[in-house]
Structure 1
Amino acid sequence: RREGDVTFNTYLVTGFLGRNRAFHGDEVVVSFRARRRPTGAEASASPQTGETDDHQLATDGHTSTEGPPDGFAADEGPSLSGEASPLSDRCRVVGVSSRNINKNPILATIARPSRGEDGAGPEVIKAQPRDLRLASFLVHRADVTPSTLEQLESIWTTDRAALVLMSFDAWPKEAMAPEAKLLGGSDAILGAEGDAAAESHAILVWHGLEHRPYASEVVCELEERLNGPQGAASASRPPWLTEALNDPKRRDIRDQTVFTIDPPTAKDLDDAISLERRSDGRAQIGVHVADVSHFVTEGTLLDQEARKRATTCYLDNRVYPMLPAPLSENVCSLLPTAPRLAFSVFFTMTADGRLLDEPPPVIHKTIIHSKCRLDYVTAQRVLDSFDHGPSPDGPTPPASLLHDIDAVKELECVRRVAGSFGIPEAVSCDLVTLSRIAQRRRERRLQDGAVTLGRAESECRLILGPDGIPEGVDEEEPSNLSHELVEELMILANHVVAKMLIALDPHSAILRRHKNAETKAIKSTLDTIPADIRRVVYETLGRPEMHEDSDGSTLEGGGVVRDAKSYP
């Protein structure tokens, strides 16, 4: 298959001996050999595959993995694509040029080993990886520290296996199983298999997510960036704010009514919205995103650490942030407690959801001060107090829409609901105005063929007890309008930025591409959708002009991708 300008071929390695001590993901050297057709007793003993003999050799302990098997059987099974491989695709591993298994710790379980007649444990302990693509490992008891052995014995007394982290050590030529060593210090033992804390830790390790605390040098570098050398920050104004106020390229818009809408448990509030009514009945909308780049400079220790972590990981009972909490949950979180730095996109819209080119959209570095923090459910209750239903005769006329919404603060129902949550009237009025504009914008997108993925009617969250074990389920109220409001404004902001990038350099663009999925993965996914939709997807996949041009370098329109500049 092709990935950009590189062609990848898939080759079939069969049997334990054919893998020759290679692990999943290793970079290997292979040798292609012609198949030997079995005859007589051989054909009767192995009519289907050549893996039976290899499996027997791998489990009886009498044959080493050194050297190839005598030959390949007549039919060694299907290829990875589900079709019979040609003769040239049959191979065996003759060398490992790069070990993939060395990149991350190996997550495994160790059950209580059997003891001999003298009551002593075995010299070698078997560790079973959670990744079933890996062979069982052997851990030498002599390599395990007394304190770690004591931890293992404590877990084994509960009749449960221990969850451990280990690293690959060696796979000698004469051995049938690889060898590993437990990690040093407190990182080796996660806990008992099935324990909530241990299993949560195991999930992070399994997916290769960095979850350990930030190194002290990273923390010190951040503290100096936030507070200045030796904590020079004054009680009234931190150095970064003074720096921002003195920057002629950054606008101070702290007087504008800016507010956030996020999940109720969110700590990193990274985007906010605002509305300014124009005298001509149009609306200038602002989308504000936390300016993290002001604090994370390229090449710094913090930048390198953020690159390693790549993203914030949300588990049901804990969040593992990409950036340290002083940034992600404080200075770069758009809380309504203090000024914050942002990148702000401003664009003008009509009441019926049309994006205007005049005045043209602009992007500024800004200083904002959020006036209110809303969660989706609370925002939904305010929106529900106002009639959002579309007019039976079509969209509400632009001339009357904003006029009607401007009167929202005069309505007792909205004032009462907003007041019960401590929401300022200005925020509740802007919330309803933005929602109505967003709904009309959404109607336009869907009418023009936009694809939307359905949202569940309600969302559930586990209620965890003190020991981390789920004790119940908390079902959140549906909040479609508030979610759609934020979604539409974020789509608009991205749309505006994309058009500006195209205007700046029409011959270049950033295109997000993904690797082609494996044939089996595509088929298993398509088998889950209705037949009529599945047929359309198959037809589209079979017509490259619908998603790529002939050389795979650019995307076509063809009713699938529209020119950003052509969208109203």
Structure 2
Amino acid sequence: MNRKGRKGEDALRKAKGGKKGGSGGGKYGETIEGIINMNRDGLGFINVPGDTESVMIPVQKMRGALNGDRVRVSVMRKRRPQSGKLEGAVDCVLERSRKPHIGILIVRGKKVWAMVESRTMPYDIRIMCEDPAHLPTIGGQKAADGLKVAVLVKEWPKNEPEPLGVIVDVLGKPGENDTEMHSILAEYNLPYRFEPEVENAAEKISEKITEADIKARKDFRGVTTFTIDPADAKDFDDALSFRKLDNGNLEVGIHIADVTFYVKPGTPVDREAYDRGTSVYLVDRTIPMLPEKLCNKLCSLRPHEDKLCFSAVFELNAKAKVINQWFGRTIINSDYRFDYEQAQEIIETGKGPLAEEIKTLHELATIFRKERFDKGAMNFERPEMKVLVDENGRPIDVTRKESKESNWLIEEFMLLANRCVAEHVAKHCKAKDPTFVYRIHDNPNPEKLEELRRFAKTFKHELGDTGNPKKVAKSLNSLMESVKGKPEESPIQMMALRSMARACYSTENIGHYGLAFQFYTHFTSPIRRYPDMMVHRLLAMYMDGATSQDKDYYEECCQHSSEREQLATDAERASVKYKTVEYMQDKIGKEFEGTVSGLTEWGIYVEVEPTKIEGMVSLRDVTDDYFVFDKDNYRTVGKGTGRVLTLGTKVKVRVLRANLEQKILDYELAEVIQ
């Protein structure tokens, strides 16, 4: 079935590619290889290597390429008159995307296809199936008419009107909460159940802690120890211990669940953890990296239970200077489990269990935090939305997440452990040039910083000196402070974040720009991140005198982990977007006051009160005026009425549409208040 149509597709398939040139890309006649991005109109876009520009591929020149495919593209003309973009044509599809498409299965006689609703897939997919009676059963559900399925495109033969694919998962009835959350996970190629082989292997792992295990470790069971986590957390993978030493200094232990003691390399549980790469946190559920026995029981640092840990222990003076440090395996018994709200109350009032310990740790963390920012760490992040759901997963409220001092307390000690572990391996390990897994963050993109400078100037804000990385950080922090609480805060903050590189894992250490650390790794969350498991293993091997490990192998693992992390992040954001659109579904036609949060040539973005849920007013839907986007002054002007909309303009909007499948929220402009 072809709902969008494929006008000119036959001509497309007969068209020849452009001139073959070099492989650098971006110039007329040259070829580019890369991943193609597709919009709902069927247009393709591919980034030019080493450039911020992209090449646009018209529908007629896509040659059957689909979103996420690796393709070779010839640049056909220098600039497209309408958009000024480079234009190209797909020469061939080098590799089909491994990400499935989500659709509703339609069975009509012998024909079976998936009707796809996606902003990046304008075609339905014909299912490769000779007999509908033999449709697959996956996860205990048989594929059937009307059910949601995940489909992987295999090919697009020249004479077929749609791509051909196979069903890789049966997700359930459309509209049911589990079905929709599983659909998001499947869309990003993220598993949501463990195979029996993995569950059985986890169940066979012994829970017994032997005397030999205890003797091989430092015993911290007599030292005051506690955890601070979200109220609904079950996987407690870090704990803090605290005691005053006879010399007047303080000892702080950062104790991390010893996951790799239980999960051995190459076992079914380890292979599954590697494949997943990370736990995934959707609005209403956690998809763990490890089976429940490990993440919520065996490795979770629950109070009043003996637990095995891999620890970083620091002797600190009152000014938070590290006097001594020790890394090694330990056994602990946590005295208390706090949630962040409880710990925050103790910080604010000075009263409650372990109040003196928490007060002192908070003072140390405050010093660490100030030192980081003084050295050039970034001091801003985009606020996250929090969706509250009932027992059935239905959204009942939407708020903004708050990060308070209790969060900072834990954050600073985790940063200390991660930084010092990385520095220890790099500087003090006996192995020559030891291979290690670093968490790296490159310097900001200079071109994007200049875009930010121009953008900020339209609001009469100045981005200061960006001559070197440290000055960039100081200037960005100063800019963020100057826009705080103002209408333009959100878009300037968003553009500043876009100027930043994406943090990732690598065996090549270039430091972490955002944190202003020369050495940094991820050591503190092995229950939910596979790179932390790799770090534990490497640290243990080097402490035991091993030589440097295979760099190529670990670099491949780093790249895989970075990719899985990004998929998990995308899925988490998609679940928030889905639930916010679902929250607004029963509010169609209702009016809300809001604030203009973004402007483009096609629409006005508005955040409504009190939830701050953002939707778009399409300029095409405005019937009482003709609005034009003034890019130079970053405003939208009504030609008929003279109304001017800028960031922060107070408006009243009406909820027009809430498209759950595409996670799109449309508003209608009802009134310009200010």
Deviations, residues 16-51 of structure 1 (Å, cap 9, x unaligned): 342212223333455x5877xxxxxxxxxxxxxxxx
In 1, the alpha carbon distance for the partners of 2:239 and 2:76 equals: 65
Match of 1:224 in 2: 204
CA distance in 2, matches of 1:202, 1:438: 41
Report the CA distance shift for 1:378/1:13 in structure 2 as closer, same or farther (over 3 A): closer
TM-score (norm: length of structure 2): 0.55
Q: State how 1:8-407 maps to structure 2 within 5 Å.
A: 8=49, 12=55, 14-29=57-72, 32=74, 76=80, 83-84=85-86, 90-93=88-91, 95-100=92-97, 103-109=98-104, 123=111, 125=113, 127-130=115-118, 132-133=120-121, 135-139=123-127, 143-145=131-133, 162-183=147-168, 187-192=169-174, 194-212=175-193, 214-226=194-206, 238=208, 240-247=209-216, 250-356=217-323, 360-386=324-350
Whether the 8 Å CA contact 1:382–1:428 is kept in 2: the answer is yes
CA–CA distance in 1 between the matches of 2:67 and 2:297?
A: 42
Q: For the residues of structure 2 that align with 1:220 and 1:320, how far apart are their CA atoms?
A: 18
Q: Structure 2, unaligned stretches of length 5 or more? A: 1-23, 26-33, 35-47, 475-499, 502-507, 521-674
In 2, distance between residues paired with 1:254 and 1:243? 16
AA aligned to 1:313 is: V
In the alignment, structure 1 residue 492 sits paired with structure 2 residue 416 = yes
Contact 1:251 1:366 in 2 (8 A): yes
Q: Percent identity of the aligned residues?
A: 26
Query: What residue is the counterpart of 1:463 in the other structure?
Result: 389
* Matches of 2:90 and 2:267, distance apart in 1: 45
Structure with bigger strand share is 2
- Which residue in the other structure is 2:407 paired with? 483
SS in 2 for 1:298: coil
Q: Look up the SS of the partner of 2:363 in the other structure.
A: helix
Q: 1:83 to 1:325 in 2, by over 3 A?
A: same
Q: 1:320 to 1:554 in 2, by over 3 A?
A: closer
- Is contact 1:353–1:444 with CA below 8 Å preserved after alignment? no
Decide whether the 8 Å contact of 1:465 with 1:471 is kept in 2: no
Q: How far is the alpha carbon of 1:268 from its aligned partner?
A: 0.4
Given residue 470 of structure 1, which amino acid in structure 2 is its aligned partner? P
Q: CA deviation at 1:99?
A: 2.2
Shift of 1:351: 1.9
Q: Shift in Å at residue 260 of structure 1?
A: 0.4
- 2:103 match: secondary structure: strand
- The count of aligned residue pairs is 434
Contact map agreement 1:128 1:137 (CA 8 A) in 2: yes
Shift of 1:446: 3.1
CA RMSD of aligned residues (A): 4.5
Cα 1:131–1:527, aligned 2, differ >3 Å: closer, same or farther?
A: farther
- In the superposition, the TM-score normalised over structure 1's length comes to 0.64
1:432 aligns with 2:359: yes
Q: Which amino acid aligns with 2:243?
A: E
Q: 1:455 to 1:243 in 2, by over 3 A?
A: farther
Question: CA 1:516–1:176 in 2, change beyond 3 Å: closer, same or farther?
Answer: farther
Q: Residue 335 of structure 2 aligns to which amino acid in structure 1? A: K
Question: Any gaps of 5 or more consecutive residues in structure 1?
Answer: 36-73, 114-119, 156-161, 228-237, 387-413
Distance, in Å, in 2 between the alignment partners of 1:455 and 1:8 is 28
Say whether the 8 Å CA contact 1:284–1:348 is kept in structure 2. yes
Distance in 2 separating the partners of 1:525 and 1:136: 40
How far, CA to CA, are the matches of 2:130 and 2:220 in structure 1?
66
1:399-431: per-residue Cα shift (whole Å, max 9, x none)? xxxxxxxxxxxxxxx2xxx2xxxx4xxx33212
Task: Please say which structure displays the higher CA radius of gyration.
Answer: 1
CA distance in 1, matches of 2:230, 2:163: 47
Q: Are residues 84 and 152 of structure 1, via their aligned partners in 2, closer, same or farther at CA, if it must alter by over 3 Å?
A: closer
For residue 317 of structure 1, give the secondary structure of its aligned residue in structure 2. Answer: coil
